[in-house]
Chains A and B, each alone.
Chain A
Amino acid sequence: MNRALQLPEQKRWPLLLVVLFLLLILITVYATLSTSAKRTAVSIDALMQQRVGIEASTEVYQAAVASAAKNLAQELDIDLDNYDITEEAYEALMEAAASKFGNCHQYRLYVLNSRSYECYTCKTRPVVTLNYGQTFKIGQTCATKKERYRNTLPAPDLFYLVEHRGSIFEVLVAEYVKLMLFQNSHERRLIIKHNSLQPDEMLLPPGNKILR
């Protein structure tokens, strides 16, 4: 062993203490940063839950926030690492989105009279019968109603109801949460039963094509 690197016994302890002290500081900084990132992620889910105002599990909101971040980042050509959104990333997204999309809203197309409607996620039949008050479609847009549907809705006897107004991020979250809730809803089970569908089809309202 190189004797030049060996320190006298009385100098080793202070050096060891200094190293331990530095390690302690590094661990503290890492723990603080890690907790802060987790708190931020939780607070955005909670913020969305508060703004959207729909009762759903934290897991649903987390999935909705991740999905909205992914869609919006792709739309705006922003690179978000793993779409794990932080407060800074959320603010950057909001700023970019506000200038590009302006005011947006999430809407639902309700059925006014019982009749047959096209069903895009049904496997055993192309159309289903929907009754008054049932959901034909859940969507969101940043265009005006006229730009989205001109003056005529996609099928007869429908009622376009604006359920939530807000930023593009908020309405994407609202749409996702409502589509997820529809999957386990009593309304969906009734439509499936009434139209003799299989339990694994029509996972979305009949007028919805995909879950983005």
Chain B
Amino acid sequence: MVSLFAEKSNEQATLELYKTIQSLGLAKNVDISINNTLDAQSGLLFEDGKLVDISLANCYTLEDMITELIRLMGEYAVPKE
């Protein structure tokens, strides 16, 4: 499921991105939130050790999404010893 959070000022851009994401047919077991509200921050939500939601802040295009995803990977990835 894709959840959208937007301000009036960027509503149209967020809706356009929603249409693009819907057309990709993403996996249904992980929710995606595009949060374009003021002061929003990207993050991952885990429940019982499982990833259940990816929240991406300030994304208006697919490029923005990829950039945020890579940044999150860098932030959350723990090197295996």
Contact = CB atoms under 8 A, between A and B. Distances in A.
Interface residues of A, number: 18
B4 A160 contact: yes
A159 B15 CA distance: 9
A150 B7 contact: no
Contacts of A158: 3-4
A159 B6 contact: yes
Given A151-B55, A152-B33, A160 B45 contact: no
A151 B31 CA distance: 8
A153 B3 contact: yes
Given A146-B55, A151-B53, A152-B53, A165 B38 contact: yes
A163 interface: yes
A210 to B, nearest CB: 24
Interface in B10-53: 11, 14-15, 18, 31, 33, 35, 37-40, 43, 45, 52-53
DSSP majority for the A interface?
mixed
Nearest to B45: A151
Contacts of A161: 6-8, 11
A165 B7 CA distance: 10
The size bracket of the interface on B is 20 to 34
B8 A150 contact: no
A116 B1 CA distance: 15
A17 B35 CA distance: 75
Interface string A112-152: 10000000000000000000000000000000111001111
Contact of B6 (A146, A156, A162, A165): A162
A156 B37 contact: no
Best-surrounded residue of A144, A149, A158, A162 (most CB of chain B within 10 A): A162
Contacts of B5: 145, 160, 162
Interface of B: 1, 3-8, 11, 14-15, 18, 31, 33, 35, 37-40, 43, 45, 52-53, 55
6 tightest A-B CB contacts, nearest first = A151-B53, A160-B5, A159-B4, A151-B33, A153-B3, A162-B7
